[in-house]
Structure 1
Amino acid sequence: MFDVLVIGGGINGAASAAALSAAGAKVALVEARDFAGFTSSESSNLIWGGIKYLETLEVALVRKLCLGRNKLMRAYPEAIKETRFLAVVDRKSRFPAMFLWLGAWIYWWLGNRFTRKPRYLSRHDIASEETIVKAANLTGGLMYSDARLVDGDARFVLNLVKKAIGFGAMTINYLAVTRLQREPGGTWTATVVDGVTGRELCLQARFLVNAAGPFADELNRQAQFETSTQHVFSKGIHLVVDRITDSNRVLTFFADDGRMFFAIPLGDKTCIGTTDTPVESPLTRVSDADRKFVLDNINNCLNLATPLTKDDILAERCGVRPLAMARSREYKTGQWLQMSRKHVLQASEKLGMVSIFGGKLTDCLQIGGEVCGALSNFGCQLQMGKWYGEPGLKSRDRFAARLREVIQIPEQNIDLPWDRLWRMYGVGAIEILESILSENRGAELVIRPAKICRAELELIRNQEMVVTLEDFLRRRTLLAQTHGLSELASMPGIRAACEVLFGNQAEQRYEEYFQMHPPIEIQSSHTNKNINAKVEVVRKP
């Protein structure tokens, strides 16, 4: 019997589970796919205050998002970095450059002047500072700041899941809820099916949190929770290409239809997008029209020796934004871009259930706090504490001390990305160093192009619940998002990494990824039948 069952392992579920378990609740978190295996691994990787929502005069929402961004930047100074955005304005823009510059100052003040000041740039300034941008038809531009997740959205979500585990939560991926029942005594019974073993089992909890993202409406129907809010879906896609600029800025343009779109640093590549297209189902794919829209618009904006084509696409990101909308409101296609992106929580004390609609990476801390507040009102005994953020100075000092020992190992020239290891794994990076100190092969580079060593792979295997190779390549690392499929297939070390991660199932996992399924199908696959013993221990209720 758990105090709370959280259904959904995306950003909303991970934040809810971490906040609740830190407050003393006995929490179970279940996810039908991998953690961050759907919407939460397909974002723009931006932590931003939503400057574009000023156009629809949602000042209160922008203020709230800016404060959420500031809070995240303070709590995660390594994982979330302030990033300069260069927004350019051409002669066809709906707004003059000076008007947008004024908006950037309002945005800066709404964010408590937390970031660097905005700057106005003339056409000549843009041409000299960012030569890749076509400046001939520009009227000017502006530079302002927001932030981005250096290692991607999925890594951020996973680290919140690991926070929940550290506070005592039970978290299981590839565990799908097939039935919900409210018992006469007021508890919930959830029938779940393990996508790894096929085993069916039941979980019981006093309270239920529906954090199923775009699938929340279906879960509410199962629970017979009649809400006044529902989801409509917006498809957003990104195309990943080789790096187009070394400036490390986010380049911001206005597409032909007036939408903002971006060229965003992603590792050593560039991620271009996004679209904002209404769709009926959360199960969607990148279409040829989507690719053409993004490629045509970016080619119109950049000085490229050769225009980008489909052959330049290394990877694609495709997800849906679940947008919260009142059931009483009539949806009109022409009003799509004016729809609010704010989240909504609906709670039923009678059912002991909270449902989350919408939500963004930027307001995840607020969502975690709101879920705790709602359940506390229901009688769940909670004592709120700090449930997020990077390790403190003592842990950092321990890491530095161990690192000095590793560097001084005689007759070894160990060259690993120490900053990345600390940023991604926190105190887990200390375990990587200790493994290197205790085992001669720990520092061995298994995937040399990405500088992933054996000790890092062992930590991922033991602590991060990897079930498929897709989990590792796309969500534990950025490899599948920064390399094409054929490049991954020929990359030295991928097979050896499978042997570390999956043991005697290595070849099966490798074949699944590269031959039997394209990556988008593996992401939602429940056909895997085996898992290494280390992960099986973590997954057992």
Structure 2
Amino acid sequence: MTLRQTNIDTMRNGLFDVLVVGAGINGAVSSAALAGRGASVALIDRGDFGGFTSQESSNLVWGGFKYLENYELPLVFGLCRSRNRLMKAYPDNVKEIGFLASLGTTAPYAPWFAGLGATAYWGIGQFGTKRPKVYSPEKVETAEPVIKTDDIRGAIEYYDAYLVDNDSRFVFSFVRSAIEAGASVANYVELVSAERDGDRWRARLRDVDSGEEFETSARVIVNAAGPFVDGLNEEWGLTTEHRIVYSKGIHLVVPRLTTTKHDRVLGFFDDTQRLFYVIPMGRRSVIGTTDTRIDTPFTEVDDDDRTFLLEQINARLDLDQPLTVDDVIAERSGVRPLVVKRGAGDQRDVDWTSLSRKHEIERDDDRSVVTVFGGKLTDCLNVGEEVCGEVEHLGVPLERDLRNWYGEPATATRDEFFRQARLMKLDRLRSKPDTEPLSDRLWRRYGRRAFDMLEAIRADPRMGEDIMGSADYLRAELYNAAEHEMIVRLDDFMRRRSKIDLVVSDEAIASSPGLREVAEILFGDDAQLRLDEYFDA
């Protein structure tokens, strides 16, 4: 029986302290925090873990430098503090990175003034990163020759952090933490209905994959449905102080644009004086993001989006050939669920530039519902802790927070893994240029489970082979994913447990001789069904 089916069986007719609806970053971190403090937790999502808003981020962990423009100092301080905590807790997954922001004719600030802002940002962030710098045009050209410097006044470089792997995989790390703490967790399980019955909620759930319906009960519901929180609350007859409005953002993934050996984010002001970035992703660069008000949480990249970003970046980089649509390897499009107070007028009346990615948490004492509005990946630990506080107020006793529900394994465990990897000469299995050592990658992605992969490779050297050529995934990783990562559809692996869909072209994926074996390892007899489903999507 699969891990997912075991969890569904546990949910069926069960009684939990908390049912968490939505397995994006807010739901995942809430489940990990609650389970880590002794609550019985069920976590569901009608799609995959991190499969909506949380898979469309910029993969950055940052304190919100731009929020200084609106003097949101408490927000910036809180985000910087959270960034510092994540960097300390996840040293192999969340790494410091420089942001080199060019100040050209479209920039609203002079370099000296931006430098003061960067220094203030560094101080507000409790000096948790490297010191910022101010660059002359000449120094910019030396630091990043790809930047056009003929019409810039200079640049600043400040520091934040980024996710070495993708955002959805980071979300899944909290899902795994919740499972390890005893939570029952299942993707592709939809909340059909929920009714308050005495001291508990009775919820009817549906397995989206099989169509089976079943019931479960919980004392408290955490509404962590991201862009869909308002709709759920309306179904339950709840009135809240806050609501969500939508901002669409897109990214384009292209071949690597920078030539420097170290990773660095390039920042530019577009023609509307809004910052956009060129973000490193291994052998690729990610250009974005845009900011467009919309009325629906469902989005896609359109021709205007592509044209705008390509025009903006071509005007600011000195490339051998201008980027065209043919250079785009992958596209990302999602909404930011932004928080406003009810009574603030129609969505179109909201001052878009003043809205930040802050979160708000509300508690309904009569119905025992906690709702998480907005937020961003950087602030996830705060969300988890605050949700625990609200759930305690609703009468669910929690154990003392030992903060063991997040973070990478202990240093001694890490050292032992790398000792074993050196003894078996793991890194010599790779001969591809410009790829990181295997030992670094396996430890970062899997932590303690990476020991099982060492054992598998010792027992069968074929387990140490790349299975899809340019995708950089070992056969051992696929078997591990099949057993532990609750992959229901091929897209779950290609887009979220890995970032293959983001860095390898559709043509290369379709023609990969290893793709069928990937499907067979993950799905067994259902391999062809899942392949057809993947290519039809």
Counterpart residue number, 1:513: 534
Note if 1:308 corresponds to 2:323.
yes
Letter in 2 for 1:470: D
- Taking the aligned partners of 1:207 and 1:391, their CA distance within structure 2 comes to 31
Q: Give distance in 2, aligned partners of 1:456 and 1:429.
A: 9
Q: Which residue of 2 aligns with 1:102?
A: 116
Deviation at 1:503, TM superposition (A): 0.9
Q: 1:432 to 1:136 in 2, by over 3 A?
A: same
Q: How does 1:280-359 map to 2 (within 5 A)?
A: 280-330=295-345, 331-333=347-349, 335-359=351-375
Shift of 1:458: 0.5
Note the C-alpha offset of 1:371. Answer: 0.2
Equivalent residue for 2:406, pick from 373, 388, 391: 388
Count of matched residue pairs: 513
1:21-40 matched pairs, under 5 angstroms: 21-40=35-54
Q: Cα offset for 1:90?
A: 0.8
Equivalent position to 1:424, from 445, 462, 474: 445
Instruction: Deviation per CA, 1:303-334: give whole Å up to 9, x if none.
Output: 01111111111000101000011012124557
User: What is the deviation of 1:510?
Assistant: 1.4
Name the SS for the 1:163 alignment partner.
helix
Task: Write the distance in 2 (CA, Å) between the matches of 1:129 and 1:157.
Answer: 34
Unaligned runs of 5+ in 2: 1-14, 432-436
Change (3 A) 1:414 1:290: closer
Which residue is 2:65 aligned to?
Answer: 51
- Measured against aligned partners, the alpha-carbon deviations of 1:217-251 in whole angstroms (never above 9, x if no partner) come to 11111222110110000000000000000331100
Residues 1:270 and 2:285 aligned together: yes
Are 2:141 and 1:127 equivalent residues in the alignment? yes
5 Å matches for 1:422-461?
Answer: 422-461=443-482
| Cα contact 2:93–2:163 (8 A) shared by 1 | yes
Q: Indicate conservation of the 8 Å contact 1:127/1:135, yes or no.
A: yes
Match for 2:278: what amino acid?
A
Question: What is the CA–CA distance in structure 2 between the aligned matches of 1:41 and 1:426, rounded to whole Å?
Answer: 22
1:365 is matched with 381
User: What residue in structure 2 maps to residue 236 of structure 1?
Assistant: 249
Which residue of structure 2 aligns with residue 220 of structure 1? 233
State the partner residue of 2:17: 3
Does 2:512 match 1:496? no
Counterpart check, 1:487 vs 2:502: no
1:79 and 2:93 are equivalent in the alignment: yes
Is 1:207 the counterpart of 2:220 in the alignment? Answer: yes
Dislocated runs of 4+, deviation >6 Å: none
One-letter code aligned to 1:243:
R
> Within 1, Cα distance between the matches of 2:67 and 2:380?
18
How far is 1:393 from its partner? 2.0
Answer yes or no: is the 8 Å Cα contact 2:426–2:438 preserved in 1: no
Q: Residue 84 of structure 2 aligns with which residue?
A: 70
Please give the residue correspondences for 1:174-189 in structure 2 after superposition, counting only pairs within 5 Å: 174-183=188-197, 185-189=198-202
Distance 2:86 2:284 in 1: 24
Give 1:374's aligned residue.
390
**Residue type matched to 1:125 in 2?**
K
2:424 is aligned to 406
CA displacement at 1:343 relative to structure 2: 0.4
Q: CA shift at 1:186, angstroms? A: 1.9
Quick one: distance in 2 between partners of 1:308 and 1:444?
Answer: 34
Shift of 1:397: 3.2
Q: 1:333 to 1:302 in 2, by over 3 A?
A: farther
Residue 8 of structure 1 contacts residue 30 of structure 1 at CA under 8 Å; is this kept in 2? yes
Q: Deviations over 1:336-369 (max 9, x none)?
A: 1112321000101211110000010000000000
Q: Distance in 1 between matches of 2:106 and 2:462?
A: 59
Instruction: Please tell me the residue identity of whatever aligns with 1:338.
Output: S
How much identity, in percent, do the aligned residues show?
A: 45
Partner Cα distance (1:452, 1:291) in 2: 30
Residue 533 of structure 1: aligned partner: none
Equivalent position SS for 2:462: coil
Matched to 1:130, the amino acid is E
Unaligned runs of 5+ in 1: 518-541
Q: Which residue matches 2:9?
A: none
What's the CA shift for 1:372? Answer: 0.3
Closer, same or farther in 2 for the Cα pair 1:483/1:264, shift >3 Å? same
State TM-score, norm by structure 1: 0.92
Give secondary structure in 1 for the equivalent of 2:70. coil
TM-score after normalising by structure 2: 0.93
* Alignment check: 8 A CA contact 2:99 2:159 kept: yes
Shift of 1:402: 3.2
Whole-Å Cα distance in 1 between the matches of residues 443 and 290 of structure 2?
A: 33
Q: Secondary structure at the match of 2:519?
A: helix
Amino acid at match of 2:508: E
d(CA) in 2 for partners of 1:81, 1:242: 22
Amino acid at match of 1:385: L
Q: Secondary structure of the residue that 1:4 maps to in structure 2?
A: strand
Which sits farther off after the overlay, 212-221 or 450-459? Answer: 450-459
Superposed displacement of residue 494, structure 1: 1.4
- The CA distance in 2 between the partners of 1:408 and 1:244, in whole Å, is 31
Q: CA RMSD in A?
A: 1.5
Which whole-Å CA distance do the structure 2 matches of 1:234 and 1:428 have between them?
38
